[in-house]
Structure 1
C-alpha cells in the first residue's frame, strides 16, 4: 500500500488552492499517472489512470467538501484509493496544505501493462508541481519601473 502524508506551504490564499483541487478536470495537470477525472455528479467522480496495479477506470465518491478548507474522497469499487486535502490559512495570507493520499494496487495479471510506477517521492514532486502552478497563477503582475531621466 502506498501512503503519502505531506504538508507544504503555498503563497496563495486557501480559496485559490481549493479551487485548483475542486476543479477535478484539471487534476491530471499535476498528478502523475492520472489521465482524467470527470465529475459525474456533485459527489461521484470517474478517474482514468495509467498507474501500475490500478484499474484504468475507477470511481470515487466525495465524502466531504468544505469550500476553501477540505476535500475528502474514497474509491467505491475494487481498488482502495483515498484522498484528503486540508487547507489552513497562514499568518501571511498563504496556505498550509496537508495532503493524505493512499491506495492499495490490486495484483496485476501477467498480460496487463504495468503503467506508471508511483512512489512517495513521485507524489511529493507532484504536490510541488501543484504549488508552482498555483503560485505562478497567483503571482502579482509587476511593471518594470524605468527611472525617468532628470
Structure 2
C-alpha cells in the first residue's frame, strides 16, 4: 500500500471547512482527476476518476464521521483500493488545519511508476491548495451534512 499525508491551513472557521468537505459532489471543482462524485446516501458515494489517462469507477463508504473533527472512508466496490481520513483542527476562530491521509494500492505500471516518483503526493498537495482557494474565495460552504457515523 502507498500512503500520502498533507495538511493545509484554511482561513475559515472549522465548521465552514468541515461543512464544505461533506459536499462530495463539489470535489471535481478542486480535485484534479475527479470527474464526478454521486452521493448515493448519507454514507455511500460513487466516484468517477481519470488520472493519467486511466479512467476508474469505484464506490466508497464513510465508516466514521464526527462533525467538525473527522471523516473516515474506504472503498467498497470497484477497481480502486483506497482508505483515508480527513481531520479538521480549529486553530482559532477563523483558521482551520485540514489534514488528509490516504492509503491506496497502485494498480498497473503507470500507477506504480507515478507512485514511485511522487506524482500522487504532488497531486494531493495541489488539490489541498485548490480546496483552500475554493473555500476561502467563497467564504461560506456550498452546503453541509452534520450527521454522525460510528
**Alignment TM class, shorter chain as reference:** 0.7 to 0.9
Cα 1:99–1:119 change in 2 (3 A) is: same
Deviation at 1:55, TM superposition (A): 5.7
C-alpha distance in 2 between matches for 1:84 and 1:23: 15
Alignment of 1:71-150 (within 5 A): 71-77=71-77, 78-107=79-108, 118-138=119-139
Q: What corresponds to 2:12 in structure 1?
A: 12
Q: Which has the higher strand share?
A: 2
The 8 Å contact of residues 10 and 135 in structure 1, kept in 2 or not, is answered as: yes
Cα 1:73–1:129 change in 2 (3 A) is: same
Structure 1, unmatched stretches of 5+, are 109-116, 140-150
Q: What corresponds to 1:114 in structure 2?
A: none
Structure with the larger RCO, 1 or 2 (CA within 8 Å, 6+ apart): 2
TM-score by length of 1: 0.78
- Cα root mean square deviation, aligned: 2.3
Deviation at 1:107, TM superposition (A): 2.1
Q: Which has the higher helix share?
A: 2
TM-score by length of 2: 0.78
Q: What corresponds to 1:142 in structure 2?
A: none
Number of residues of Structure 1 aligned to a counterpart in Structure 2: 132
Flag the structure with larger Rg. Answer: 1
2:134 match: secondary structure: helix
Cα 1:123–1:59 change in 2 (3 A) is: same
Structure 2, unmatched stretches of 5+, are 110-117, 141-150
State whether structure 2 residue 50 is matched by structure 1 residue 50: yes
**1:39-84 deviations in whole A, cap 9, x for unaligned?**
1111111000112496621011001111121111010134211221
Q: What corresponds to 2:33 in structure 1?
A: 33
C-alpha distance in 2 between matches for 1:54 and 1:79: 11
